Chains A and B, each alone.
Chain A
Amino acid sequence: MANYDFERLSVLIVEDSLFIRSLLINSLRILGVGKVNAVDHGGDAIEFMQKVKSDPMSVGTQEVDVVISNWQMSPVDGMILLRWIRRHKDSPDRFIPFIMITGFSEPKRVQEARDLGVTEFLAKPFTIQAIGEKLISIIERQRQFVHTKDYFGPDRRRRNAPIPFEDRRKLTDKSPGVEVIRG
C-alpha cells in the first residue's frame, strides 16, 4: 500500500482553544501536510475563505482542500461556518470536505450537523489515529453530493447496504427530475 503524500494538501483549522489548535497544527505538519492555516473561530474562517477566493496572495493559499473545525466557538460557531461554506454564494468551494470536531455526541446534535452537510466528525477527546482515519476516509470514500430543496451536502447514505425499512429514495439516475452532474 502506498503512503499518501500530503505535501500539496491545504488544510484550514478553525479552533478557539489555543492548546488544541497548536496540537492540531503540529500533528498535521508531522503527518506531512504542506499547508496548514489556522484561525480562531467561524467568523475568521469565513473571512479567510473569502480571501482565498478574492485575494489568495494575502492568505498565502489559492485553495483549501479540507476544513477541520471545532463546533462550539464564539462568536461564530462551526455550524454557522458549515452552513456558509455549503450554501453561501461567496463560498470558494461548496463541496469542500468538512470535519467537525465535537464534544457533542447526542444523536440529535450529530443529525443536525449531518443535515447541514458535514463530511466527518472528529470526537473529542481525539487521538492521532482518529485524525489519520478521518483524513483517509475523506480521501478514499469520497461521496457524491446531493442537492434537493432542503439539503445540500455529501450523500448521507455512506454505505451501499440494504436498509431494513421501506426505501424513501425512489428516484434513480434515469427518473424525471433527476440531474446528474459530473466533473
Chain B
Amino acid sequence: MADPNKQKVPTVVRFYRFRNRLKEKTLGLVKGTGGISPEALAAAEIALEQMSEDYPDWVSGLISKMAEQHSRCVDTPENRRDFFEAINLIAHDMKGQGGTFGYPLITDFSESLESFTSIRNDINDRMVELVKAHIDGMRAVIKGRVKGDGGDIGKQLAASLQLAIERYKKG
C-alpha cells in the first residue's frame, strides 16, 4: 500500500527509466556491448574522402557568395549591417566544413572572419577591406588546393592574413 504521508507531498521530480529499446532494436538478444563493424566504418571513411574531392567546388560557390556581399558593402554602405550578417552566416557554415574535408586553413580563416563580422555597428571601410583580405586568403587556399597546414604556402597565406588583421587593429 502506498505511504499516505508520501501522497500529500506534490511531485517535485520525476525520473523516467525506460528499458533500452534502441539497444534491443540494434543488437537484438545479444548480450554485452555492441560495436560498429570496422568494415562499415572504413567504407564510410572512403565515401567521405570521395566527397572531399568535390569540396573545393562547393566552397568556391560559398566564397563567391561572400564576395558578392562584400561588393555590396562597397556599393551600398548604408546596408553594411545586413551584408556583414550574411557574410557572418556563411563564414560560420564554412568554419564547420573545412576541417572535415582536409582544409583546416579554410576553417581558420572563416573562424577569424566569423568572429570579426559579428560586429554590427560602425562598420567602416577598413573593416570592409579586412573582409576582402579574408576572402582573398580563402580563394588562394582553394585555388592552390592547400590542404592540411599547407606547408610554406599555407604559412605564407596565414601570415599575410594576420598582417592584414594587425594593420587593421593599428588603424
Contacts and interface: CB of A to CB of B under 8 A. Distances in A.
Among A1, A3, A127, A144, find the residue whose CB has the most chain B CB atoms closer than 10 A: A3
A19 B10 contact: no
Chain B interface category by residue count: 35 or more
Interface in A126-179: 126-129, 131-132, 135-136, 138-140, 142, 144-149, 171, 173, 176-179
Contacts of B95: 103, 124
A180 B18 CA distance: 10
B107 interface: yes
Interface stretch (A4-12, A40-48, A108-116): A4-12
A57 interface: no
Contacts of A102: 96
Given A23-B51, A125-B99, A139-B34, A6 B26 contact: yes
B163 interface: no
Interface residues of A, number: 58
Given A23-B48, A27-B47, A144-B17, A5 B12 contact: no
A178 B43 CA distance: 48
A92 to B, nearest CB: 14
Q: Is the interface of B mostly helix, strand, loop or mixed?
A: helix
B36 A3 contact: yes
A182 B45 CA distance: 39
Nearest to A2: B30
B56 to A, nearest CB: 11
Interface of A: 1-6, 8-9, 16-17, 19-20, 22-23, 26-27, 30-32, 65-66, 72, 74, 95, 97, 101-103, 124-129, 131-132, 135-136, 138-140, 142, 144-149, 171, 173, 176-183
7 contacts: A9-B25, A124-B97, A128-B45, A129-B41, A131-B44, A146-B14, A147-B16
Interface of B: 5-6, 8-20, 22-23, 25-28, 30, 32-37, 40-41, 43-45, 47-48, 51, 54-55, 58, 89, 92-93, 95-101, 107
